[in-house]
Copies of this chain bind each other. A is one copy, B any other.
Amino acid sequence: MTDLRRGSTQVLVLSLLAEEPMYGYQIAKELEHRSEGYFDFKEGTLYPLLHRMEKEGLVKGEWQVVEKGPSRKYYAITPEGRKTLEKSAAEWTTFSQRLLKILGQEAEPAST
Protein backbone atom coordinates (compact mmCIF):
# COMPACT_ATOMS: atom_id res chain seq x y z
CA MET A 1 0.00 0.00 0.00
CA THR A 2 2.94 2.29 0.52
CA ASP A 3 3.70 3.03 -3.08
CA LEU A 4 0.06 3.48 -3.86
CA ARG A 5 -0.12 6.49 -1.64
CA ARG A 6 3.30 7.80 -2.49
CA GLY A 7 3.23 11.50 -3.14
CA SER A 8 -0.41 11.88 -2.19
CA THR A 9 0.33 12.71 1.42
CA GLN A 10 1.19 16.32 0.74
CA VAL A 11 -1.88 17.08 -1.32
CA LEU A 12 -4.10 15.44 1.28
CA VAL A 13 -2.59 17.49 4.10
CA LEU A 14 -2.87 20.69 2.09
CA SER A 15 -6.50 20.00 1.31
CA LEU A 16 -7.31 19.74 5.01
CA LEU A 17 -5.36 22.85 5.93
CA ALA A 18 -7.20 24.75 3.22
CA GLU A 19 -10.28 24.46 5.43
CA GLU A 20 -8.71 25.51 8.71
CA PRO A 21 -5.41 25.39 10.60
CA MET A 22 -4.74 22.04 12.26
CA TYR A 23 -2.00 20.41 14.27
CA GLY A 24 -0.22 17.23 13.25
CA TYR A 25 -2.01 14.77 15.44
CA GLN A 26 -5.34 16.28 14.43
CA ILE A 27 -4.50 15.97 10.72
CA ALA A 28 -3.76 12.28 11.10
CA LYS A 29 -6.97 11.59 13.01
CA GLU A 30 -9.08 13.70 10.68
CA LEU A 31 -7.83 11.98 7.54
CA GLU A 32 -8.32 8.60 9.13
CA HIS A 33 -11.86 9.54 10.07
CA ARG A 34 -12.80 11.03 6.70
CA SER A 35 -11.51 8.00 4.84
CA GLU A 36 -13.09 5.54 7.26
CA GLY A 37 -9.68 4.23 8.24
CA TYR A 38 -8.27 3.96 4.74
CA PHE A 39 -5.65 6.68 5.10
CA ASP A 40 -3.47 5.97 8.10
CA PHE A 41 -0.61 8.44 8.35
CA LYS A 42 2.46 7.40 10.23
CA GLU A 43 4.20 9.92 12.43
CA GLY A 44 7.47 9.27 10.66
CA THR A 45 5.77 10.45 7.49
CA LEU A 46 3.65 13.28 8.75
CA TYR A 47 5.98 15.31 10.95
CA PRO A 48 8.93 15.43 8.56
CA LEU A 49 6.47 16.33 5.79
CA LEU A 50 5.07 19.26 7.80
CA HIS A 51 8.58 20.50 8.51
CA ARG A 52 9.49 20.27 4.84
CA MET A 53 6.33 22.06 3.79
CA GLU A 54 7.00 24.82 6.25
CA LYS A 55 10.53 25.19 4.95
CA GLU A 56 9.12 25.46 1.43
CA GLY A 57 6.62 28.09 2.50
CA LEU A 58 3.49 26.05 1.86
CA VAL A 59 2.38 26.15 5.48
CA LYS A 60 3.20 28.15 8.58
CA GLY A 61 3.42 26.56 12.00
CA GLU A 62 2.63 28.19 15.33
CA TRP A 63 2.87 26.67 18.79
CA GLN A 64 -0.14 26.90 21.03
CA VAL A 65 -0.09 26.02 24.68
CA VAL A 66 -3.02 23.94 25.86
CA GLU A 67 -4.24 24.00 29.46
CA LYS A 68 -4.28 20.26 29.74
CA GLY A 69 -1.90 18.09 27.78
CA PRO A 70 1.06 18.68 25.47
CA SER A 71 1.40 21.84 23.41
CA ARG A 72 0.22 21.73 19.83
CA LYS A 73 1.81 23.11 16.72
CA TYR A 74 -0.92 24.48 14.50
CA TYR A 75 -0.21 24.70 10.79
CA ALA A 76 -1.95 27.20 8.54
CA ILE A 77 -1.82 27.07 4.76
CA THR A 78 -0.13 29.98 2.98
CA PRO A 79 -1.15 31.59 -0.31
CA GLU A 80 1.66 29.65 -1.97
CA GLY A 81 0.33 26.49 -0.35
CA ARG A 82 -3.05 27.13 -1.90
CA LYS A 83 -1.49 27.50 -5.31
CA THR A 84 0.37 24.22 -4.86
CA LEU A 85 -2.81 22.55 -3.65
CA GLU A 86 -4.76 23.61 -6.71
CA LYS A 87 -2.05 22.43 -9.04
CA SER A 88 -1.49 19.12 -7.23
CA ALA A 89 -5.18 18.35 -6.96
CA ALA A 90 -5.51 18.86 -10.71
CA GLU A 91 -2.51 16.62 -11.36
CA TRP A 92 -3.86 13.85 -9.18
CA THR A 93 -7.22 14.07 -10.86
CA THR A 94 -5.63 13.78 -14.29
CA PHE A 95 -3.44 10.93 -13.16
CA SER A 96 -6.36 9.01 -11.68
CA GLN A 97 -8.41 9.42 -14.81
CA ARG A 98 -5.54 8.34 -17.06
CA LEU A 99 -4.80 5.34 -14.91
CA LEU A 100 -8.38 4.17 -14.67
CA LYS A 101 -8.75 4.57 -18.40
CA ILE A 102 -5.82 2.27 -19.10
CA LEU A 103 -6.98 -0.19 -16.47
CA GLY A 104 -10.28 -0.36 -18.28
CA GLN A 105 -12.34 0.93 -15.40
CA GLU A 106 -14.10 3.22 -17.80
CA ALA A 107 -17.01 0.83 -17.87
CA GLU A 108 -17.56 0.99 -21.55
CA PRO A 109 -20.30 -1.45 -22.48
CA ALA A 110 -18.76 -4.78 -23.38
CA SER A 111 -18.49 -5.32 -27.10
CA THR A 112 -19.69 -8.79 -28.12
Contacts and interface: CB of A to CB of B under 8 A. Distances in A.
Interface of A: 1-8, 11-12, 15-16, 31, 34-35, 38-39, 89, 91-96, 98-105
Copies of the chain in the assembly? 2
A88 to B, nearest CB: 9
Contact of A91 (B1, B15, B95, B101): B1
Contact of A92 (B4, B31, B91, B93): B4
Given A1-B91, A3-B7, A99 B98 contact: no
Given A35-B98, A39-B98, A98-B35, A103 B11 contact: yes
Nearest to A104: B15
Contacts of A7: 2-4, 6
